[in-house]
Amino acid sequence: MIELNVIRIKNAVFYAYHGVMEDEQNLGGKFEFDVDMYCDLSAAAEADSLKKTVDYEKVYAFIEKSVHAKKYYLLEALAGTIAKGLIREFHNIEKVVVRIRKPHPPVKGVVDYVEVEIMQQR
């Protein structure tokens, strides 16, 4: 049985140009990301070796590249792209949860943020 542990990246912030509204696509805004990566960390804990775990600096770089690669209308599409890509690129990730927050979204009301959560499993 595989023992699943978690590595988390919390509140990675990027400025990008995602959204349905034309202003969002042109002016851009801040987006906040949390990523939970479920994997077996027992070999890494035993060997104290980066080669046996998920290099979160590479994960961060992958997220940053994905955020800036194209403009998305929906947070759901961006989160899905990131989740599928992390599973594809990092073979020791068994399950990933990607949360994206858009602070102060353009809605008719007072809202701190909207958040989308996507889970992808191997």
Tens of pLDDT along 34-53?
Answer: 999 999 999 999 999 999 99
Residue extents of the structural domains in the chain: 1-7+14-30+48-106
Domain 1-7+14-30+48-106 sits in CATH 3.40.50.20:
no
| Strands in the chain per DSSP E | 5-16, 29-39, 95-103, 113-121
Per cent of the chain over pLDDT 70 is 98
Tokens 């943020």 -> residue: 113
For residue 83 the two structure tokens come to 């989740």
For the cut 70, the answer to whether the pLDDT of residue 1 exceeds it is: no
3-state DSSP assignment of residue 113:
strand
Does the reported pTM lie above 0.85?
yes
